[in-house]
Amino acid sequence: MLTLYYAKGSSALAPHILLEEVGAEYAVHEVPITKGAHNEPAYLEINPKARVPALMTPNGVITENPAILTYIAAIHPQAHMLPDTPFERAEADALCAYLCATAHVAFAHLLRGARWADSEEAHASMKAKVVNNLRDCAKLVETHHLKGPWAMGERYTFCDPYLFLMPRWMGKVGVDVSDYPKLAEHHNAMLHRPATLAVMAVHGI
């Protein structure tokens, strides 16, 4: 049995959707970060990073979206969510690393600037750059990391629900996904999958 620790509307959306896609047996445990639940001792026992998502497995806890997504894919081989060759797997892993370390980090400078600087002027300067940075990320993904219609081409894989987050980050700062046709097509295709819709309903979005 798996338990996903999630906050509504957070990046936990990605593994939540993948759990639905693979038909996993799983439970969810909400961690309301707006109430500070991620900093409570009970949750820090689960994930000392004080972040969501975290996935409780029979062997222990997994943190970090790229690791959680590939783990879910690996233990549900019948769902065929991993690419077939080492090179394609590396392409998918590279997209996840880019989303995790560049795109999500770019977005985090909007409201989480306190992670990297203390002065309010610095936070304002960070916020001012988020739009341009997310535009750069969208262009890079559109050109180099998205084969279409799915990230890896004709087949939906573990990285598609992660890519689904990117237009959401863009939308929060007014960057229109329709400026990026392949990304827009991907987002629209995601929005037509029952697993996506079921999870969005749970998240209230």
Strand ranges in the chain using DSSP code E only, listed in sequence order: 2-6, 26-30, 54-57, 60-63
Closest separation in Å from C-beta 13 to a copy of itself: 17
With CB under 8 A, what is the number of residues at the site for a copy of itself?
Answer: 49
Under the binding rule (CB under 8 A), the answer on residue 89 touching a copy of itself is yes
Under the binding rule (CB under 8 A), the answer on residue 48 touching a copy of itself is yes
Letters for 160-189 (x = contact with a copy of itself by CB under 8 A, - = none) are ------------------------------
Out of 60, 174, 194, 204, name the contact with a copy of itself by CB under 8 A: 60
Show Cβ contacts of residue 87 under 8 Å, excluding neighbours closer than 6 positions: none
Two tokens, residue 205 = 């979005």
- Nearest alpha-carbon partner for 14 in 88, 64, 51, 85: 64
Task: Give the residues across from 26 on adjacent strands.
Answer: 2
By DSSP bridging, strand 26-30 and strand 60-63 are unpaired
Out of 11, 70, 157, 196, name the contact with a copy of itself by CB under 8 A: 70
Under the binding rule (CB under 8 A), the answer on residue 144 touching a copy of itself is yes
DSSP for 107-147 reads HHHHH-GGGT---HHHHHHHHHHHHHHHHHHHHHIIIII--
Letters for 103-142 (x = contact with a copy of itself by CB under 8 A, - = none) are -xxx--x-----xxxxx-xx--xx-xx---x------x--
> Which of these segments, 17-25, 70-78, 160-168, 191-199, binds a copy of itself (CB under 8 A)?
70-78
DSSP for 3-21 reads EEEE-TTSTTHHHHHHHHH
Amino acid identity at 33:
I
Interface ranges with a copy of itself (CB under 8 A) = 48-49, 57, 59-60, 62-68, 70-71, 74-75, 85-87, 89-91, 93-94, 96-98, 100-102, 104-106, 109, 115-119, 121-122, 125-126, 128-129, 133, 140, 143-144
